[in-house]
Amino acid sequence: RVTVEDVRRFADTVEIRDATAFAAELQAFVHERVEAVKLPANLAGETVEHALERKAAALRADTSWAPTETDVQRGRAVLLEAFNQPHNLPPAEFAKLADKSRQQIYKDILARRLLALNVGPRGQKLPDWQLDPVKQQLTQTVLQEVEG
């Protein structure tokens, strides 16, 4: 808003007879000039919602990522390598070392007293660290917490 005090800036340059009328005319002139300015499209009053939509669109990929067959195969190979480690024992071997029957081992697996690893049709394997009573107790506690 142009005030009479603003008009006094022009007193040395021009002769102003009515400061209030000059201030009003100057205000109208400035307002007309500001309204006449055409802003470029990128500076136009963009709403917050439009700005967020534009930025979110820039973050989205044109195509979604899908693993290639080799990535899946590589993951499967790592899984099988871990499954076939020598410390993972088949139930029959684990039963001999634990001095239990295979049937009892399977019952313990079903009762969540033993952790068994299962990779599809390859059967089950039990990590040998479960033969240690302290580690077996930890396994039982964790399996019961997960179940509950």
Report residue 108 as tokens.
Answer: 């313990």
For residue 44 the two structure tokens come to 């136009």
In a domain, 68, yes or no: no
Which SS3 state, helix, strand or coil, does residue 132 take? Answer: coil
Same domain, 91 and 139: yes
* Structural domain range at position 37: 4-48
For the stretch 67-92, pLDDT in tens is 777 888 989 999 999 999 999 999 99
Task: Flag whether 72 is in a domain.
Answer: no
Instruction: Give the start-end residues of each E strand in 8-139.
Output: 88-89, 117-118, 124-127
Q: Could you tell me the two tokens for 14? A: 């021009």
Q: Are residues 95 and 143 in the same domain?
A: yes
Give the whole-angstrom CA distance, residue 87 versus residue 21: 97
* Domains contained in the chain, number: 2
Per-residue pLDDT tens over the stretch 98-131: 999 999 999 999 988 899 999 988 899 999 999 9
Q: What are the residues facing 125 on neighbouring strands?
A: 117
Tell me whether residue 27 is in a domain.
yes
